[in-house]
């Protein structure tokens, strides 16, 4: 078997074990946040793209981001550990930073389907400067 497939399997297994360990430890919200982070980000992008308050240019940017993330062709292939996901994360952060500057944090908060702890991670990754009291 190809070493890259073994590596991909190991990463997926470690991810699943981390979610399981959190669930067994009684940290259900943390397990849900970790397991649902990527799907929550996909829902966020879709909701922001469908929002009538989103400008046409931002909507095009969101659709292009979704297409890029879904595409098997990346600047850095996703099968490369860490670096493969890093280019995706940087693009998501840049697009969200633009949206937050144009529409504000409240638009992102209204579209976020996941737990508050995950939203804080998304906002931090986008470079949004949000007072801590605003996030609670």
Q: What is the pLDDT of residues 72-131, one digit of tens each?
A: 777 777 666 667 777 777 888 889 899 999 999 999 999 999 888 888 888 888 887 765
Residue, of 62 and 79, whose pLDDT is higher: 62
Return d(Cα 67, Cα 125) in angstroms, integer: 20
Closest CA to 114 of 43, 45, 59: 43
Could you report the per-residue pLDDT of 33-59, keeping only the tens digit for each? 666 777 888 899 999 999 999 999 999
20 φ, ψ (degrees, to nearest 5): -60, -45
Domains of the chain: which residue ranges? 37-135
């Amino acid at each position: 078997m190809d070493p890259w497939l073994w590596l991909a399997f190991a990463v997926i297994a470690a991810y699943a074990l981390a979610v399981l360990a959190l669930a067994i430890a009684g940290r259900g919200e943390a397990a849900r946040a970790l397991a649902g982070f990527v799907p929550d980000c996909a829902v966020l992008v879709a909701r922001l793209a469908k929002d009538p308050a989103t400008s046409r240019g931002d909507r095009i940017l969101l659709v292009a981001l979704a297409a890029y993330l879904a595409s098997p062709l990346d600047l850095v292939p996703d099968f490369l550990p860490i670096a493969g996901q890093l280019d995706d994360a940087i693009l998501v952060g840049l697009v969200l930073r633009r949206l937050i500057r144009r529409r504000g944090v409240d638009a992102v908060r209204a579209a976020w389907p996941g737990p508050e702890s995950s939203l804080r991670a998304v906002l931090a990754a986008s470079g949004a400067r949000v007072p801590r009291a605003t996030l609670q």
